[in-house]
Amino acid sequence: MNWKLRALLWFVNHVQPIREVGIEHVNTARKASLRASELGKLLFDKKTPVKDIRNFKIGHIPVRLYRNSTEPDQKVILYFHGGGFVYYNIDSHDYVARRLCVFNNCTVISVDYRLAPEHTFPAAHEDAYQVVDHVYANASELGVDATKIMVAGDSAGGNLAACCCHHFKNHPEIKLAAQVLIYPWVDGKIDSPSIEQYKQGYLLTKEAMLWFQKTYSPNPEDQCNPELSPLYQPDMSGLPPAFVLTAEFDPLKDEGKWYADKMRAAGNTVWYRDYKQLVHGFLNIPGLSDEGRQAFEDIRKFIREEVK
């Protein structure tokens, strides 16, 4: 483990611990998490210039569109940020969206879906589906190719991206082109060897995961519902090409690998890579190591080869 990661973990564990908070304190915790994300960007990332950025709404959902060229009919990535369905927004993941736009010469639409506890399951999922519907129906106006709509996200956002693929796989018109699942949360059991091995001290804790879960899905019957925990979807066939990224020191590592294996076993095209010496959240802090920066290169290669 390099010194940068050691220093980050010391800070997170001793100065900015991620712990369960009372519902009445969520807004305060959100502000603290956003300050931490800004510090992370300052220390371990840099802003990628993008020629055209604009904010608008799809229904009630704020989104931010990134475009680096005027080419028509671009590929488009719909990006769903992480944060346990409780924290973060399109500002916290602005640098990620910028880099994805420039690296892939495509449009990126970052989605500010509704958060818990104000909005519980299935609110965030409904927002994700509404954005996909809108982008498909308005592709020409947005300057994107309706046959090249990709979904991507990290952690809880990876869950939303995965769930979009199941939701739309039998749609008569909408056919998603690819999915990029970055350390996705896909198993509501919250019970795996990696969760126990890395349950504290590695940025994301088991305690935080359990709190995120009960905050977004307070009804226990929802927690392993395949509509929320896609690992339990009974039919995994017919999904778009997938790239699943996990981190060596991440509680979610095992379920990400299980999900990749399950999709592959059902006959889908699946890329998988576990990024060594990294923790949950590394896409937002790529300056931690060469491995973190490599993830964006790997995503570029995946999109170039799988979305023609």
Residue type, 280: H
Instruction: Please name which of 237, 123, 231 lies closest in space to residue 187, comparing C-alpha atoms.
Output: 231
Look up 145 and say whether it is catalytic.
Answer: no
- DSSP string over 234-288: S---SPPPEEEEEEEE-TTHHHHHHHHHHHHHTT--EEEEEEEEEETTGGG-GGG
Report residue 109 as tokens.
């639409």
Look up 250 and say whether it is catalytic.
Answer: yes
* C-beta contacts of 286-293 below 8 A and 24+ residues apart: 286/44, 286/45, 286/99, 287/4, 287/43, 287/44, 287/45, 287/46, 288/2, 288/4, 288/5, 288/8, 288/44, 289/2, 289/4, 289/5, 292/44
Pairing between β-strand 144-154 and β-strand 74-80 as defined by DSSP bridges: parallel
Residue type, 87: Y
Report residue 81 as tokens.
């940020």
- Judge whether 233 and 262 are in contact, CB under 8 Å: no
User: Cβ contacts of residue 181 below 8 Å, gap of 6+?
Assistant: 152, 153, 158, 161, 162, 242, 243, 244, 245, 256, 259
Q: At which residue do the structure tokens 């106006």 appear?
A: 141
Report residue 190 as tokens.
């919250």
Catalytic residue among 81, 93, 125, 280: 280
Chain centre to alpha carbon of residue 137: 23
Report residue 249 as tokens.
């020191």
Look up 280 and say whether it is catalytic.
Answer: yes
Catalytic residue among 110, 250, 254, 289: 250
Catalytic residue among 155, 192, 217, 229: 155
Give the DSSP letter of residue 60.
T
Residues classed as catalytic: 155, 250, 280
